[in-house]
């Protein structure tokens, strides 16, 4: 028995422990790729995110945190069987890594199709966070959509409660821009986001109300999510407002 224990102890010396990289934020960007979003709108949305993630104000928000780095993945969601990881987990710690993320985002072909399954998309975001190789001080899922319908898959509220119950915050981007997909006529989209989709401490909804302001809305949303302290986000956004 003693010899066996010695052998086991010796073997353990050669086993490298699994260590996850620590950083400020794990962020899943869940972008709408349902039937209401055509190919031009897919490119439009991606361009908005690419512009936002490389914006100096967003990079300043990243640099101002404890570790000075976040990890991001971009996923296009549609029906319950169609959630495509367009850009896998990428550490953003400065301009070079942000530029690389943006370039990969614009190059990838569209793979997600189908009718809305927001509940399934939220659970996909949780799965991606649970199974990655990173440990963030905060964990956030950011879902964009031009409607709050759920035609298949798990109910939205049930999925939201599972995600939020695991300590992940869900924020929302309500897409109302006319040249994207328009505003639902039968309900208030932002209110549905508040009632059914978002959740967790300080969860919020940002509205993209026109094609011209889409990238600005994404930039604002990223700053609010990335800045660890609300006062830092307010300072950056105030400076942006003055510059505009």
Query: pTM score, two decimals?
Result: 0.87
What are 28-78's pLDDT values in tens digits? 999 999 888 889 889 999 999 999 999 999 999 999 999 999 999 999 999
Which tens digits make up the pLDDT trace of 76-108?
999 999 999 999 999 999 999 999 999 999 999
Residue 213: predicted pLDDT: 83
Q: Give 209: exposed, middle or buried? Use CB within 10 Å, 0-12, 13-18, 19+.
A: middle
* Element holding 164 (H helix, E strand): helix 156-165
Burial tier of 61 (Cβ tally within 10 Å: 0-12, 13-18, 19+): buried
| The predicted structure's pLDDT at residue 11 | 42
pLDDT tens readout for residues 1-38: 455 444 444 444 444 445 689 999 999 999 999 888 88
Report the alpha-carbon distance of residue 155 to residue 146 in Å, rounded.
Answer: 18
131 DSSP assignment = T
């Amino acid at each position: 028995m003693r010899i066996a224990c010695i052998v086991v102890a010796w073997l353990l010396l050669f086993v490298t422990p699994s260590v996850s990289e620590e950083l400020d934020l794990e962020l899943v960007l869940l972008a709408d790729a349902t039937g209401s979003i055509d190919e031009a709108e897919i490119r439009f949305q991606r361009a908005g995110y690419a512009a936002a993630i490389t914006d100096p104000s967003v990079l300043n928000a990243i640099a101002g945190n404890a570790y000075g780095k976040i990890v991001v993945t971009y996923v296009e969601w549609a029906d319950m069987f169609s959630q495509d990881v367009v850009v896998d987990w990428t550490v953003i710690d400065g301009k070079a890594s942000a530029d690389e993320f943006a370039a990969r985002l614009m190059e990838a072909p569209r793979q997600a199709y189908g009718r809305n399954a927001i509940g399934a998309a939220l659970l996909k975001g949780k799965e991606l966070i649970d199974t990655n190789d990173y440990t963030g001080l905060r964990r956030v899922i950011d879902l964009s959509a031009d409607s709050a319908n759920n035609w298949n898959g798990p109910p939205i509220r049930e999925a939201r409660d599972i995600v939020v119950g695991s300590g992940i915050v869900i924020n929302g981007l309500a897409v109302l821009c006319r040249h994207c997909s328009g505003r639902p006529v039968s309900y208030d989209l932002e209110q549905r986001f508040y009632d059914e989709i978002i959740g967790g401490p300080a969860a919020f909804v940002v509205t993209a109300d026109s094609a011209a302001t889409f990238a600005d809305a994404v930039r604002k949303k990223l700053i609010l999510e990335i800045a660890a302290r609300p006062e830092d986000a307010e300072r950056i956004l105030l400076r942006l407002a003055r510059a505009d």
